[in-house]
Structure 1
């Protein structure tokens, strides 16, 4: 299963390079189910893997002219505040066992995976559904963009998710960016969000297996490199529905595995 996990890790970077998101959607299930990492620890690992890979991708897109720095900062700065609140104040205080229904204990780890699966299903629907670019506003709505950034930071803090599947639609509709610029700008935001979350985890002494972490990140880098090359030739909007169906299946699988199987 571990060999398959390393191969699957390439898809993390491939997704980020092609559509500017989806890396964390894949990272958490890969770590939990293929490498048997504890879900809470997997959120920390995901922040490092996705964040580091997104940094490389963001720099590559910057050289291609696909990164809007002002837009990224308006989105990322509010995210930083909500990430710190969630990971450093709220998350550590959540009990390992939340409550018990009959003889069935609902744990923090179960909650993480179920919420993540629900988010995956919601994100997959937005990926599958066709959007009309002509309905976008004519100029950037920075106050709304900042508010969306704060909300995405909550997701990043709780689930260890970069939030690209939420960032891309926000950049398309509130920042009026074309798809390729939304991808490049999203990668910088993902890096900032993930870096803040991971550094916060180091501050509270989260145990980190760096050898394992670097090996997964290296595989994701390979996927990112390939994804960026392909993004020059393939329209990301055509790939989103395909990826959306894949994410939908994974989300349903996680719910079934955690509750029924």
Structure 2
């Protein structure tokens, strides 16, 4: 029964990543810890496999559908690798209970932000999602020919956000899609559908970087459990990526927000009890 629940959770992770460009990865650690009996250190490493493979599969599907700007995603991902390396190295020196508590705090923050955004959209008081004019999609941030030019405020936004995303990926084993999508919306002026697809490219790169740094250090996860979760997640990521082009994502976002908050409260309770 536990494995069945884990596979169902893996399917939800893949659906969220494929359809929304993020979010589902934040469930991978709790699933590995509480359903598959992995330690926090094992889970934060194993989740990088789940998130990385799932994002890669979804990114390919999104690219074929014309919803992923691969070049932009690769650049953002490469900038984020510095933070991913630093985060992965820092995680090796942190107590496991503290690591899980930090993850619980992140989940509560993300869940709260998602809930606030949903409420604002329903009331009509939140800012409208930016739909950038088509020409801006091709506007470079830095050019060297015919003369050097730099949109430095945008470059700084990309640098800071990418580094934070990379650090979270390396330290907590999450993809950081909940930060990547807003960053691509604002810093690179991408429309929502392109931001969701492009974020999958970024998550693939940062997850692979963090996993490479963690390899050989710390306890190895139970690869059978990790691969089972990865398989379920990757399979539904294709479905999620296809659905994103056909239906609105607001209902998916609402349901996922509720789920994240419930898992966050459970994880936070367990983490606090472990620390006391």
**Per the shorter chain, which TM-score range?**
0.7 to 0.9
* Aligned positions of 1:185-196 closer than 5 A: 185-196=198-209
Matched, 1:26 2:27: yes
Matched, 1:133 2:128: yes
Structure 2 counterpart of 1:220: 233
Structure 2 counterpart of 1:47: 48
Structure 2 counterpart of 1:97: none
Looking at structure 2, the residues matched to 193 and 238 of structure 1 have their Cα atoms a distance apart, in angstroms, of 28
* C-alpha displacement of 1:121: 1.8
TM-score normalised according to structure 1 size:
0.86
Whether the 8 Å contact between 1:75 and 1:148 is mirrored in structure 2 is: no
Whether the 8 Å contact between 2:87 and 2:170 is mirrored in structure 1 is: yes
- Structure 2 residue corresponding to 1:110, chosen from 97, 110, 121: 97
Matched, 1:154 2:149: no
SS of corresponding position for 2:215? helix
Name the Cα RMSD after superposition.
2.1
Looking at structure 1, the residues matched to 265 and 97 of structure 2 have their Cα atoms a distance apart, in angstroms, of 15
Looking at structure 2, the residues matched to 212 and 253 of structure 1 have their Cα atoms a distance apart, in angstroms, of 21
* C-alpha displacement of 1:61: 0.6
Looking at structure 1, the residues matched to 198 and 53 of structure 2 have their Cα atoms a distance apart, in angstroms, of 15
Aligned pair in 2 of structure 1 residues 35, 184: CA closer, same or farther (>3 Å)? same
SS of corresponding position for 2:237? helix
Residue segments in structure 1 that go unaligned for 5+ positions in a row = 95-107
Matched, 1:164 2:158: no
* C-alpha displacement of 1:257: 2.4
Whether the 8 Å contact between 1:137 and 1:173 is mirrored in structure 2 is: no
Structure 1 counterpart of 2:86: 85
SS of corresponding position for 1:93? coil
* C-alpha displacement of 1:74: 3.4
Q: Deviations over 1:148-197 (max 9, x none)?
A: 00011111111011101111111112222111111110100000000111
Looking at structure 1, the residues matched to 242 and 70 of structure 2 have their Cα atoms a distance apart, in angstroms, of 22
TM-score normalised according to structure 2 size:
0.82
Q: Deviations over 1:59-110 (max 9, x none)?
A: 111111111234313321221011112223x33233xxxxxxxxxxxxx222
Structure 1 counterpart of 2:107: 120
Looking at structure 2, the residues matched to 6 and 46 of structure 1 have their Cα atoms a distance apart, in angstroms, of 14
* C-alpha displacement of 1:29: 0.6
- Structure 2 residue corresponding to 1:198, chosen from 208, 211, 214: 211
* C-alpha displacement of 1:236: 1.8
- Structure 1 residue corresponding to 2:270, chosen from 241, 257, 261: 257
Looking at structure 2, the residues matched to 92 and 109 of structure 1 have their Cα atoms a distance apart, in angstroms, of 9
